[in-house]
């Protein structure tokens, strides 16, 4: 990104960089604000591929899939890279075109992706299968050497989670529970809600202790008021 910004005048490059930093910082916690910063960066330097890519991810995060797809396509034209191919396919899903996403999963670009990119493409393809009502096919789509491997990679938890969810969708609950547990084992960063899904399958219900305490305290008030009223009555 720094290399790309070197093509801009120094002051402009610094302004663009500041906005891109804010996009990265806020993308998960406040995507709407991140989107706003991305639009500023885009106005300042629309001919920089990194800016178009950041704008694409910001639009994607707030569900503006058509806009995101346009930005990703622009970034790809500028760089010639295929790394955005899976998220471009997912934008097609977001636009209600799962068939297009499936077609992209069969394009030669997929073979040029690194291992992480190919896993991501598999996840998108499985989602597209489910969008089209092909739940069993989604299960098969996710079956791969990466899923069978015991090694843990950044994408392992999400892959296992998606497989568990696909199994559950076709009624294979026992297998789904096993894969949710495997997803939880690999989920060191808390990227999934595998623990909640496991609890749900086991019939475990969580109670918010603070809320319960508040309810008890509120329930005590009428009793106290009643006691004070009774005490006043006896004195009278």
The predicted structure's pLDDT at residue 233: 45
Residues 203-216 have pLDDT tens digits of 877 565 555 555 55
Residue 230, exposed/middle/buried by CB under 10 A (0-12, 13-18, 19+)?
Answer: exposed
The predicted structure's pLDDT at residue 219: 55
The predicted structure's pLDDT at residue 213: 53
Give, in order, the Cα–Cα distances in Å from 130 to each of 75, 138, 214. 29, 6, 43
Q: What is the rounded CA–CA span in Å between residue 8 and residue 6?
A: 5
Using 50, 70 and 90 to split pLDDT, how confident is the model at 230?
very low
**Average pLDDT of the segment spanning 114-138:** 97
Q: What is the rounded CA–CA span in Å between residue 198 and residue 5?
A: 46
The predicted model scores a pTM of 0.82
The predicted structure's pLDDT at residue 35: 97
- Comparing 92-96, 137-141, 152-156, 214-218, the range with the smallest average pLDDT is 214-218
Q: What is the rounded CA–CA span in Å between residue 45 and residue 60?
A: 19
Q: What is the rounded CA–CA span in Å between residue 124 and residue 120?
A: 6
Give, in order, the Cα–Cα distances in Å from 63 to each of 91, 189, 204. 9, 24, 33
The predicted structure's pLDDT at residue 225: 45
The predicted structure's pLDDT at residue 228: 46
Using 50, 70 and 90 to split pLDDT, how confident is the model at 217?
low
Nearest to 124 by CA among 168, 132, 108, 38: 132
Using 50, 70 and 90 to split pLDDT, how confident is the model at 113?
very high
Residues 91-110 have pLDDT tens digits of 999 999 999 999 999 999 99
Give all domains of the chain, ordered by start, each with its CATH number. 1-81 (1.25.40)
């Amino acid at each position: 990104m720094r290399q790309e910004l070197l093509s801009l005048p120094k002051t402009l490059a610094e302004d663009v960089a500041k906005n891109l930093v804010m996009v990265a910082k806020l993308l998960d916690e406040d995507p709407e604000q991140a989107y706003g910063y991305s639009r500023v960066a885009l106005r300042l330097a629309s001919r920089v591929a990194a800016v178009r890519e950041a704008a694409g991810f910001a639009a994607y995060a707030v569900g503006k899939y058509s806009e995101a797809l346009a930005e990703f396509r622009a970034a790809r034209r500028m760089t010639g890279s295929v790394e955005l191919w899976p998220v471009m396919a997912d934008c097609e899903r977001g636009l209600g075109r799962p068939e297009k996403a499936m077609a992209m999963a069969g394009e030669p670009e997929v073979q040029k992706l690194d291992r992480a990119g190919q896993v991501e493409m598999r996840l998108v393809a499985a989602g597209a299968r489910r969008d089209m009502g092909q739940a069993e096919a989604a299960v098969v789509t996710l079956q791969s050497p990466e899923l069978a491997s015991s090694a843990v990679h950044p994408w392992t938890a999400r892959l296992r989670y998606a497989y568990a969810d696909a199994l559950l969708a076709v009624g294979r609950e026992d297998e789904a529970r096993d894969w949710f547990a495997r997803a939880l084992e690999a989920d060191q960063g808390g990227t999934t809600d595998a623990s909640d899904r496991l609890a749900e399958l086991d019939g475990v219900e969580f109670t918010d202790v603070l809320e319960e305490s508040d309810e008890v305290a509120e329930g005590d008030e009428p009793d106290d008021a009643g006691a004070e009223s009774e005490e006043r009555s006896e004195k009278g």
